[in-house]
Amino acid sequence: MLLDFNKLGAWKWALSAICAVMSLFLLLPILFIVALSFGNSRWLIFPPPGWTLKWYEELFADPRWMGAALTSAKIGVIVMVISVALGLLASLALVRGTFKGREVLRAFFLTPMVLPVVIVAVALYAAFLRLGLNGTLLGFVIAHVIVALPFAIITITGALETFDPAIEDAAILCGASPWEARLRVTLPGIRHGLFSAAIFSFLISWDEVVLAIFMASPSLQTLPVKVWTTLRQDLTPVIAAASTLLVALTVLLMIAAAVLRKGKSE
């Protein structure tokens, strides 16, 4: 390789240092929140004078927080299922199809990624106002599928493109109908891609706040929205505890996705 890390000499240390500083820069706010969630100061003093679990106890005892977490999880799972299913169908058409305008369609599917989320949110809010979908579970799900789908499509088309269509042809000549071949051979063949797409779709919904603020109603809100609204009323360490749990699940799922990728490359 042209840029061999081990041959960089003094640069090696400089690069390592830059990486360390950047990681710290990215991690610091998170570490800060985690520390505060275990700190015993109601006024969020840093560093905390002592340690406690009482904010977590308060969090778990409050039905409004638990309700928001449950809503988030419910929406996340539904979004995950729908976005993987739609992503799979769209990817089959984009990768295996031979129709005209395939590239245009692919670009179209990916537009929600480049549009500012606020614009998508305002547009959906206006549309849902007419349809009466604001503040409903369905409204949340539709909004989140719109932003999660492009990621699902990218991940699944990636997996499908590396899966040789001749393998599908072989299954068909073996006697499997085209759909049976896809189900029994292609799907298991791209299962790593499907799992990654599922994890990312769930996470996008789980972490999403802009669309959720527009969709939320006092009786139906997700965890990030609850964090946001609580924050505006009073600054309590319970928010830090909730945020820590939010981040913890995200990190866990990211690790799962990384393990999946590693498993695939072996």
Partner 1 sequence: MTPFLHINGIRKTYGTVVATDHVELSIAEGEFMTFLGPSGSGKSTTLYILAGFQDPTAGDIKLRGQSILQTPSHKRNIGMVFQRYTLFPHLSVGENVAFPLRVRRMGQDEIAQKVKRALSLVRLDGFEDRMPAKMSGGQQQRVALARALVYDPPVLLMDEPLSALDKKLREEIQFEIRRIHQETGVTILYVTHDQEEALRLSDRIAIFNKGKIEQVGTGPELYANPATHFVADFIGDSAFLAGELAGVGQGRAGLRFADGSTVAAVPLHGLGVAGQAAELMLRPERIELTPEAGPEGASLPVTVEDLTFLGNNTTVSARTGWGAALTVRLNFGHPLAGRIARGDRLHIRWAPEAAHAFVKG
Q: Enumerate binding residues for partner 1 (CB under 8 A).
A: 164, 166-167, 169-178, 180-181, 184-185, 188-189, 191
Task: Give 16 or 177: the residue with its C-beta nearer to partner 1.
Answer: 177
**Shortest Cβ 262–partner 1 spacing (Å):** 15
Which helix (H) or strand (E) is 132 found in, with range?
none
- 70, 81, 82, 91, 237 from 85: Cα distances, Å: 23, 6, 5, 10, 39
Measured distance CA(127)–CA(20) in Å, rounded = 46
As a whole number of angstroms, the distance between CA 110 and CA 134 comes to 24
Closer of 88 and 249 to partner 1 (Cβ): 88
Cis peptide before 47 (omega within 30 of 0): yes
CB of 191 to partner 1, least distance (A): 7
Measured from the CB atom, the residue of 57 and 164 that comes closer to partner 1 is 164
Shorter beta-carbon distance to partner 1: residue 29 or 178:
178
Q: Would you say 149 and 83 are in contact if contact means Cβ atoms under 8 Å apart?
A: yes
Minimum CB separation of residue 160 from partner 1 in Å reads: 14
Q: Which amino acid, one-letter code, is at 62?
A: D
Q: Which is nearer to partner 1, 57 or 180 (CB)?
A: 180
Query: In angstroms, how far is CA 126 from the centroid of its own chain?
Result: 25
Rounded to the nearest whole angstrom, what is the least distance from the CB of residue 180 to partner 1 in the complex? Answer: 7
In angstroms, what is the minimal distance from the CB of 178 to partner 1? 7
The nearer residue to partner 1, 175 or 218, going by C-beta atoms, is 175
What does each C-alpha distance from 139 to 39, 78, 84, 127, 142 come to in angstroms? Answer: 37, 12, 18, 10, 5
* Positive/negative CA dihedral, 42, 48, 49, 55: positive
| Lookup: tokens for 212 | 């959720």
Beta bridge mates, 220? 217
Encoded tokens for 15: 């690069």
We find the least distance from the C-beta atom of residue 157 to partner 1, in angstroms, to be 18
Q: State the Cα–Cα distance between residues 231 and 229, nearest whole angstrom.
A: 5
Question: Cβ closer to partner 1: 92 or 176?
Answer: 176
Residue bearing tokens 């299962």? 191
Nearer to partner 1, 112 or 158 (CB): 158
Shortest reach from residue 250's CB to partner 1, in Å:
29
CB of 189 to partner 1, least distance (A): 6
